[in-house]
């Protein structure tokens, strides 16, 4: 790729794409590595080999067929991380059902929207998680559940929903227990599964993931076997996974990070999936890595920061670690360097992508020079294309910022039941418009500059918050920082930095500004500095800059907010 003339890259590869369904590929892996450890879920004391995992998956798939579900039907899952989630992911694929991932942070209105938007006929849910009473919210939406026979729900507000399956030991009227579904299948259903296997096609939809827009209702990105199986495989290849590897997955399963970069990357390589707990806890994650001798660890930057800065960090032996992925939001260079130096993550990789592209388009390789690995998101993944374009849609020269567009096997089938928004996202030539600002250098390495809507235009100068954030991470007192643009009468927009200090230190606004002066251009020096204990973020650790903007505008009494 040396010496690019334009910001266009194509991941040429001798490794062919996988032309199978997830079920077919999963069975082949289980046949090849039957005695290898497949799944460890520490908080449930679950340990399964590949042959045991296959047995459980087949039992669940047969049980789901007894609920009157047919290929193409949608089945929701609303739960934190657990073994049942993993079984459901592979069982639904085998039965040809479309798994609908529901964000564990959703509340009643969002649940109602998601279930009805895609017409879920069944819902698997946990009883509760943290402050969320899932069954309570469902019963509020569908009070008919209390006097319905299991599998026979008829609800006014959830017209498509028939079956509700409850994870755990609890039971509520109108529901099946998850353990019950595992035992419901008979020889007849087992035969039906065997007949289905060759009929299912790899281009069929298998998964719907709701992407949280900052405005409007979430969109249901619809992904196929081909999309996520291949992406999972090539992600695992970039980490050089083998059956000897043990991958620690503290990121949520409802999100691509857990189910594709985690589960599918591991399973396609016969590696072991290790889940430390239901949700992220830095101490529990460190314990899991040390005690399970994990060789790989995933996380968003905020997770790695929480682990590195934990008061008990020093007592854990992390010498087994080798690789993993830091992704989900721009990865600060200083955090990457600390992870390599202090967590033994000598071969950690960075991945970039979006749910609509299954998700990964770029990933660094374990052999890239450290400077490249910590300062870029690597190079294009095999079999994919990316171009960087200006506002008129023209490809820009290398090193020039523009919008990143992706094309190839990874691009979603579309947004479920929403042709208009699908057409807005995917153009006539099948390019997915990401809304991300990026550059590609002459060697093909990509750098994410920010979101188009996060770019700050101050007095006619384009300012990329990422650049200022990277500079401020060098300040010895700053643990984490996020930069946004806020309205300004004189310059149109001004720079505001939200700063989270390291424990036990103090700093002033002037101190932070003084650190920047004469080091970065004057127009990039933050006009406002706000000290915070935390940032508003999604369950997956994505910073919600639009909320930061709203709060800052309100607190400073500024006029008209920048539109997203």
Query: What distance in Å separates the CA atoms of residue 492 and residue 487, rounded to the nearest whole number?
Result: 6
Count CB neighbours of 246 within 10 A. Answer: 22
Residues 78, 102: contact at Cβ < 8 Å?
yes
220-451 has CATH 3.40.50.12780 classification = yes
Supply the CATH classification number for the domain 50-200: 3.40.50.980
Residues 239, 261: contact at Cβ < 8 Å?
no
pLDDT along the chain (564 residues), means of 10: 86 98 98 98 98 98 98 98 98 98 90 96 96 95 98 98 96 97 97 97 97 71 98 98 98 96 98 98 98 97 94 98 89 89 96 96 93 90 98 96 97 97 97 96 93 85 87 95 92 94 96 94 93 90 90 88 40
Domains 50-200 and 461-556 share a fold: no
Count CB neighbours of 176 within 10 A. Answer: 20
Residue 361's φ and ψ, nearest 5 degrees, are -110, -40
- Name the pTM for this structure: 0.90
Note the pLDDT of residue 212.
64
Domain parsing of the chain, residue ranges: 50-200, 220-451, 461-556
Q: What's the chain's length in residues?
A: 564
Note the pLDDT of residue 373.
86
Note the pLDDT of residue 563.
40
Note the pLDDT of residue 201.
98
For residue 433 the two structure tokens come to 């418009």
What distance, in Å, lies between the first and last C-alpha atoms of the chain? 35
- DSSP result, 342-382: HS--TEEEEEEE-GGGSSEEEE--TTS-HHHHHHS--EEPT
Helix (H, G, I), strand (E, B) or coil at 424: helix
Note the pLDDT of residue 492.
86
Chain mean position to CA 46: 24
DSSP H or E run through 480 = strand 478-488
461-556 has CATH 3.30.300.30 classification = yes
Note the pLDDT of residue 2.
59
């Amino acid at each position: 790729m040396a010496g690019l003339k334009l910001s266009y890259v194509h991941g040429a590869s001798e490794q062919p794409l996988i032309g199978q369904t997830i079920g077919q590929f999963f069975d082949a892996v289980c046949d090849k590595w039957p005695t290898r450890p497949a799944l460890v879920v520490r908080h449930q004391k679950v340990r399964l080999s590949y042959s045991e995992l296959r047995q459980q998956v087949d039992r669940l798939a047969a049980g789901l067929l007894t609920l009157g579900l047919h290929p193409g039907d949608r089945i929701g899952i609303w739960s934190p991380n657990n073994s049942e989630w993993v079984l459901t992911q592979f069982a639904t694929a085998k039965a040809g059902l479309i798994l609908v991932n529901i964000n564990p942070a959703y509340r009643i209105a969002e649940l109602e929207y998601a279930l009805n938007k895609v017409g879920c006929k069944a819902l698997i849910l946990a009883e509760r998680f943290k402050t969320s009473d899932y069954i309570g919210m469902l019963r509020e939406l569908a009070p008919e559940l209390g006097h319905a026979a299991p599998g026979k729900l008829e609800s006014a507000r959830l017209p498509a929903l028939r079956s509700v399956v409850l994870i755990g030991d609890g039971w509520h009227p109108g529901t099946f227990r998850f353990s019950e579904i595992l035992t419901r299948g008979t020889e007849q259903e087992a035969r039906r599964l065997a007949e289905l296997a060759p009929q299912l096609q790899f281009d069929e939809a298998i998964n719907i993931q709701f992407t949280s827009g900052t405005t409007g209702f979430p969109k249901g990105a619809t992904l196929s076997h081909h999309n996520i199986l291949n992406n999972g495989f090539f992600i695992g290849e970039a980490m050089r996974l083998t059956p000897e590897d043990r991958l620690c997955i503290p990121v949520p399963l409802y999100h691509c990070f857990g189910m594709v970069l985690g589960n599918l990357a591991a399973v396609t390589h016969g590696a072991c999936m290790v889940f430390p707990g239901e949700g992220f806890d830095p101490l529990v994650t460190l314990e899991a890595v040390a005690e399970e001798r994990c060789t790989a660890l995933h996380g968003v930057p905020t997770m790695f920061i929480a682990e590195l800065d934990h008061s008990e960090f020093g007592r854990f032996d992390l010498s087994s670690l080798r690789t993993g992925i830091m992704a989900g939001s721009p990865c600060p260079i200083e955090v990457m360097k600390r992870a390599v130096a202090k967590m033994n993550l000598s071969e950690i990789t960075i991945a970039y992508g979006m749910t609509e592209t299954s998700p990964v388009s770029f990933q660094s390789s374990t052999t890239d020079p450290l400077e490249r690995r910590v300062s870029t998101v690597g190079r294009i993944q095999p079999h994919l294309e990316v171009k960087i374009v200006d506002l008129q849609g023209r490809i820009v020269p290398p090193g020039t910022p523009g919008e990143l567009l992706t094309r190839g096997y990874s691009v979603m089938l579309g947004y479920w039941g929403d042709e208009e928004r699908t057409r807005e996202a995917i153009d006539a030539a099948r390019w997915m418009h990401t809304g991300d600002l990026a550059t590609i250098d002459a060697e093909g390495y990509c750098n994410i500059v920010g979101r188009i809507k996060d770019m700050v235009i101050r007095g006619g100068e384009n300012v990329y918050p990422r650049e200022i954030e990277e500079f401020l991470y060098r300040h010895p007192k700053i643990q984490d920082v996020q930069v946004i643009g806020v309205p300004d009468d004189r310059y149109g927009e001004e720079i505001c930095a939200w700063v989270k200090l390291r424990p036990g230190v103090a700093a002033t606004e002037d101190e932070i500004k003084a650190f920047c002066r004469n080091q970065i251009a004057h127009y990039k020096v933050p006009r406002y500095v706000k000290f915070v204990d935390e940032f508003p973020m999604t369950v997956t650790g994505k910073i919600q800059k639009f909320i930061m903007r709203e709060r800052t505008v309100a607190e400073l009494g500024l006029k008209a907010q920048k539109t997203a």
